[in-house]
Homo-oligomer: A and B are copies of this chain.
Amino acid sequence: METKTAVTLLAALAQDTRLAIYRLLVQQGPEGLAVGQIGERLAVANATLSFHLKELSHAGLILARQEGRFIYYSANYEQMNGLLGFLTENCCRGEACTPASSISPCDGACQ
């Protein structure tokens, strides 16, 4: 991953409303939620929500899927995992490090 991409992803997540949207979608799984549902749950105005969804979507952190009149957004687990890898890349000059045990990111392939 390029630095520029990573900055875009981080900036997309570094905002209250967008982080809330993203986490809601992560928890929702691959099905995602329609724009209206997101707005209701998080109490965000239409225009504001649309603005933030575009940011997240441009960054590739969420994916859009049209179903009739509704647009469903869902988390893009791949993109997040790429970011996590980038942030911890080449840790400690390649010397052996104890892996941090508590973390096991998901790839969104729910069973």
Q: Looking at the complex, which one of B10, B14, B16, B100 makes contact with A105 (CB distance below 8 Å)?
A: B100
How many copies make up the complex? 2
- Interface residues contributed by chain A, number (CB under 8 Å): 47
Chain B residue contacts of A16, Cβ below 8 A: 3-4, 7
A8 to B, closest residue via Cβ? B14
Q: Chain A 45-79 against B: per-residue CB contact (8 Å), 1 yes, 0 no?
A: 00000000000000000000000000000000100
Q: Which of B3, B13, B84, B103 contacts A10 (CB 8 A)?
A: B13
A interface residues, Cβ below 8 angstroms from B: 3-4, 6-7, 10-11, 13-16, 19-20, 22-23, 26-30, 77, 80-81, 84-85, 87-93, 95-100, 102-111
